[in-house]
């Protein structure tokens, strides 16, 4: 489980500005920004985008700094790995040489760009996860993105099962503790074998619950059309204004980077 989910950031950001925006619009913006980052290979442009995105997420989600920092850990580790691989393996002008190891300027530039790209996508993903309820997301995708009802309700059922898994795991562990043979010192047995038995029991319980849930969905006419929506997810003018502002900022930063001579595309990989 990631640090961001472990900290349950949705509880912090539930009443924030970003949490009130339409989930489909936020997901689409995350996809567009991530797609734009694929074509950028200079370190300056993603660095500026990261600073702007970080400020926007902090201001619009009200996440505690500790939760935000923990959410960065996997992205920082991945970005550092990309930076090191490119710096040590990409040919170019050698900045440092120690036997078989050498660091090139081109490797640092491309690696830094890819690492900063990871951080940009990471901070946007953290903001999206922290401000978006899973049920509201699927409902919005069904209502506004025309996602099929079979996929929508199947994912919602799976999401509900995932929410209940920690409680199921605790129940199974407690049941095993009641029936377990105590050690000579009076303590409960632990180790891989005990956790393996609990994991197998959880798997069996989940499979049986999934089968019952599938039968329940089918008996209620899953997939039949037309269907009505009880709790509608609004798509307001503010959502469109947010989308326009994000795209304008993204386009403005990329254009300014191009005018100033920092912007580089795929040519940086072969220079």
pLDDT in tens, 151-191: 777 787 777 788 788 888 888 888 887 777 767 766 666 67
Dist CA 25 CA 244 (whole Å): 11
Q: Residue holding tokens 């009076």? A: 186
Q: Which residues, in sequence order, are CB contacts of 4 under 8 Å at separation 6+?
A: 67, 70, 71, 126, 129, 130
pLDDT greater than 70 at residue 109: yes
Range of 106's domain?
Answer: 3-139+234-269
Give pLDDT tens digits for 184-238: 766 666 678 778 888 898 899 888 888 888 787 777 666 666 666 667 888 899 9
pLDDT greater than 70 at residue 269: no
Do 48 and 134 belong together in one domain? yes
Q: What pLDDT, on the 0 to 100 scale, is given for residue 13? A: 59
Answer yes or no: is 89 within a domain: yes
Answer yes or no: is 225 within a domain: no
Do 120 and 13 belong together in one domain? yes
Do 203 and 89 belong together in one domain? no
pLDDT confidence band for 9 (50 / 70 / 90):
very low
The Cα-based distances of 158 to 88, 151, 218 in angstroms read: 43, 10, 15
Q: What pLDDT, on the 0 to 100 scale, is given for residue 126? A: 93
Task: Look at the chain and report how many structural domains it folds into.
Answer: 2
pLDDT greater than 90 at residue 108: no
Do 87 and 208 belong together in one domain? no
Give pLDDT tens digits for 28-78: 999 999 999 999 988 999 999 999 999 999 999 888 888 889 999 999 999
Please measure the distance between the N-terminal and C-terminal CA atoms of the chain and give it in whole angstroms: 40
pTM of the model: 0.76
Strand, coil or helix: what is 95?
strand
């Amino acid at each position: 489980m990631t640090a961001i989910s472990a900290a349950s950031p949705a509880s912090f950001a539930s009443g924030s500005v970003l949490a009130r925006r339409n989930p489909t619009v936020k997901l689409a913006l995350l996809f567009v920004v991530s797609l734009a980052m694929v074509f950028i290979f200079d370190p300056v442009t993603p660095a500026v985008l990261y600073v702007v995105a970080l400020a926007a997420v902090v201001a619009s989600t009200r996440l505690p700094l500790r939760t935000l920092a923990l959410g960065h850990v996997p992205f920082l580790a991945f970005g550092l790995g990309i930076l090191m691989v490119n710096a040590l393996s990409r040919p170019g002008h050698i900045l440092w040489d120690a036997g078989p190891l050498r660091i090139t300027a081109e490797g640092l530039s491309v690696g830094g760009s890819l690492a900063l790209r990871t951080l940009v996508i990471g901070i946007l993903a953290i903001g999206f996860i922290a401000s978006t309820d899973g049920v509201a997301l699927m409902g919005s995708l069904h209502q506004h993105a025309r996602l099929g009802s079979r996929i929508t309700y199947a994912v919602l059922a799976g999401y509900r099962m995932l929410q209940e898994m920690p409680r199921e795991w605790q129940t199974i562990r407690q049941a095993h503790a009641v029936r377990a043979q105590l050690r000579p010192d009076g303590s409960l047995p632990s180790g891989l074998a005990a956790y393996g038995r609990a994991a197998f029991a959880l798997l069996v319980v989940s499979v049986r619950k999934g089968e019952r849930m599938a039968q329940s969905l089918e008996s209620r006419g899953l997939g039949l059309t037309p269907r009505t929506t009880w709790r509608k997810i609004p798509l307001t003018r503010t959502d469109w204004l947010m989308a326009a502002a994000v795209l304008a900022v993204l386009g403005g930063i990329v254009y300014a980077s191009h005018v100033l001579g920092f912007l580089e595309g795929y040519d940086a990989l072969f220079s």
